[in-house]
Chain A
Amino acid sequence: MPQLRKKKPREAEIPTASQADLAFLLLLFFLVSTTIDVDTGIGLTLPEYVPPEEQVKVEVPKDRMASLLINEAGDILLDNQVVTLTQILERIKPRIIEKIELPANKKLIVSVKTDAKTSYNLYIQALDQVKEAYFEVREEYALQKFGKRVIDLNTEQLNEIKDKIPIIISIAEPEVVK
């Protein structure tokens, strides 16, 4: 009996002092586990689909075109000359530079054509070279004209650069196998 009398009424409450710690732990877990993987890649805009019977052939002057052909064996043909992968940049760059001051309808068009059995990797490597050539030209132009790197330019200047050096990459229409 003396034992019973000693018992105090129990406090029916959950201790909340550690709740903050628990919540922090959860927060940390989420912060660590979410993989914010930055999606990087080579951007491209495809042309609109035109049915073959409605396609119109437009003659483009030869000096405006840089046609890149990649076959299944991995040979690269730039304007009918066999080149290596790294040569693409060297060859295309001067051609972009000489067209900076020309009006928009006279800028360089890079046309990429591949074979059905060409490896995708090679295609990406070639596309990468072309893109890099454009980026280098843009970078040089920005340094020359604004004295800044492309990433430091404001929107207006960036638009001017995009205007002067537009990246026009055309993916050739696949040929219909008869």
Chain B
Amino acid sequence: MKFQKKLAKAKQGIPTTSMPDIVFMLLLFFMVTTTLREHDVKVVFSLPEAKAIEKIENKRVVSYIWVGKDGRIQIDDNIVKVEQVQKIMYAKRLDLPSIIVSLRIDKNSKMGLVTDIQQELRKAYCLRINYSTMKKAS
């Protein structure tokens, strides 16, 4: 009997009081690391499909330009004109020298508009571009 009593004295069980803290830390880690910069996309577009596509390795240097079905251009959260693209993108490039511009252009757009945007990008020295496409099911 004496022996049994001694055993009972030792506290068993893992302390769970700090578990919420640990979980919150995890939560914070996830919240910080996920680059959740959801833009409010105002234009309607459907991307073209392609096979030979690459992934963009570094998402943090990507800047988007949307072009909708109706030919409207959106950068960040604003609808802009073609002439404004150069100024906006140049300012962005100053912040991020290794900027990659991802062009999310509606597949029924005309090349005239695309070329105009490209010319503006060239003037703004944003030379690395990426035509955003969907993966073609083969």
Contacts and interface: CB of A to CB of B under 8 A. Distances in A.
A81 interface: no
Interface in A5-42: 16-17, 19-20, 22-24, 26-27, 30-31, 34, 36, 38-42
Interface in B82-138: 100, 102-103, 105-112, 114-115, 118-119, 121-123, 125-136
Contacts of B102: 39, 41
Interface residues of B, number: 52
Given A27-B26, A124-B48, A40 B135 contact: yes
A124 B50 contact: yes
Contacts of B17: 16
A49 B62 CA distance: 21
Contacts of A116: 110-112, 115
Contacts of A121: 48, 107-108
Contacts of A31: 30
A42 B54 contact: yes
A47 interface: yes
Contacts of A171: 118
B7 interface: no
Interface of B: 16-17, 19-20, 23-24, 26-27, 30-31, 34, 36, 48, 50-56, 59, 62, 100, 102-103, 105-112, 114-115, 118-119, 121-123, 125-136
